Amino acid sequence: MPADTARTGPLAFWDELPRDGRWLLSTVVVQFFGRGLTLPFTIIYLHEVRGFSLSLAGTLMGLIAITGLVVTWPAGVLVDRLGARVVVVGGLLAAMGGLGLLAFATEPWVAAVALCLFGIQLGIAWPAVNALVATVVTGDLRQRYYGVSFALLNLGIGVGGVVGGLLMDVERPTTFVVAFVVNAACFVPALLVQLGPLRHLHGRATRPEASSDDGARPAGYLTILRTPAVWWLTVLALLASFVGYGQMEAGFPAFARQASQVSTRVVGFAFVVNTVVIVAFQFWVMGRARGRRRTRVLMVMALVWAASWAVLGATGLVAGTAAAVAGVLVFHALFGFGETMLQSAMPAVLNDLAPDHLRGRYNALQSGAFQVGSIVGPVAAGFLLDHGQSGAFVAVVVAGCLACVVVLVALERIVTPEVNGVSERRSAPAETR
């Protein structure tokens, strides 16, 4: 394309993507629209609609992460041996079954089975999808792909959150049933793409012959974890999950309802604010972060998150007022801004460290750390908030954000400049067929 007619921004990115990369992105918004319908309301559904105690609801939510943790490790091995696409398909089927069952779960054990099925998909998604992306998209385009995919993901969640906020009503349980059924149906387009246009992909790299090179020798999870950079990245993932995504489905909605005393509609629109910020700033953050130390970008993220949780904590002092509503919305705006930094830097660091033939295991290890944080997060939130310890809850989360900064200081000292994003690295494309 001539220089004077070359497209810029998102359109230029789309032009640079290979065909398979475009297919992978094509279903993200639809899939996560369904997620947005239920993401802010699952714990509210379990507690206020199905009548489970807040502690029990928090524990049930933790089952998602427990199951994800259990399946993540074998999933990483299967990705490296069988290929990422087959594993992705299995996860999509599990999610559809779990969400469909959850819609009609009136007993705790039924909800537990449903959430475990959904946890299978979450445990599989990180290692399988990231590995599949890495075999299709290479070089600098890979880091940009992760950022754009995250923006589209949040666009879907945000639009779903708007619809969910307008639809959900604890006085009409049927509205929750419909939302979970729609969520299950939103996985169908992704499944069709994997079984149709992308059926030629297996998503694994050929293992190199054994040699003196460390990357060519067989490596289990413990061997990989002994790599100092991987160790610190794993600790960072655990902390980031606990203070971040581990609280999005449990800590934040429960605090907003109980301590801030805002309506479910406000909770839903808070996720809309989150999405607007991510979509509006993701490309700007990607541009600013390009060529800068990724560890420094992540440090800013941790500090922004600490500030966001402090703002949410302050809403408890003005519960039930317009100021509380404003604070809840500001919380998600700040949190979303931090997310743009996390998603444009962290996956790139990990996948630049990972040898192609071990990419599934590397991603599974980080996914497992995220799952551990997601187990502890909802359980801790449910326990503290159910016992009226909202101040302690906020203090713990803010302390976790500050701990992320300490971890990043250690990580920066040991990663190479190439992995840290301050110089270009040339690498041969991985085998994708």
Residue 131 falls within a domain, yes or no? yes
Report d(CA 1, CA 50) in Å as an integer.
58
Per-residue confidence of the chain (433 residues) as pLDDT tens digits?
444 445 555 667 777 888 888 898 889 999 999 988 887 788 888 988 888 888 898 889 878 878 888 888 888 888 888 888 889 999 999 999 999 999 999 899 999 999 999 999 988 887 888 888 878 887 667 777 888 888 888 788 878 877 888 888 888 888 999 999 999 999 999 999 999 898 888 765 555 554 444 444 556 888 888 889 999 999 999 999 999 887 876 789 889 888 888 888 888 788 778 888 988 888 888 778 777 888 999 999 999 999 999 999 999 899 889 999 999 999 999 999 999 888 778 888 887 887 877 888 888 888 888 878 877 888 888 888 888 888 899 999 999 999 999 999 999 999 888 888 776 544 344 443 3
Phi, psi of 210 (to 5 degrees): -60, 135
> Is residue 69, in this structure, part of any structural domain at all?
yes
Q: Is residue 314 part of a domain?
A: yes
pLDDT, residue 431, reads 40
In a domain, 214, yes or no: no
Please list, residue by residue across 13-44, b when 16 or more beta carbons sit within 10 angstroms of its beta carbon and e when fewer do: beeebeebbebbbebbbbbbbbbbbbbbbbbb
Q: Is residue 11 part of a domain?
A: no
Residue with tokens 């880091």: 143
pLDDT of residue 216: 46
| Dist. CA 229–CA 217, nearest whole Å | 18
What phi and psi, each to the nearest 5 degrees, are found at residue 122?
-65, -35
Evaluate whether residue 82 is within a structural domain.
yes
| Residue 207, pLDDT score | 58
CATH no. for residue 302? 1.20.1250.20
Show the tokens assigned to 315. 């809403």
> Could you tell me if residue 32 is inside a domain?
yes
Containing structural domain, residue 161: 18-203+220-412
pTM of the model: 0.75
208 found inside a domain: no
Concatenate the DSSP letters of all residues of 241-288 into one string: HHHTHHHHTTHHHHHHHHTS---HHHHHHHHHHHHHHHHHHHHHHHHH
What is the maximum span of the chain, computed from C-alpha positions, in angstroms?
66
The CA R_g of the chain, rounded to the nearest whole Å, is 21
Domain count, the chain: 1
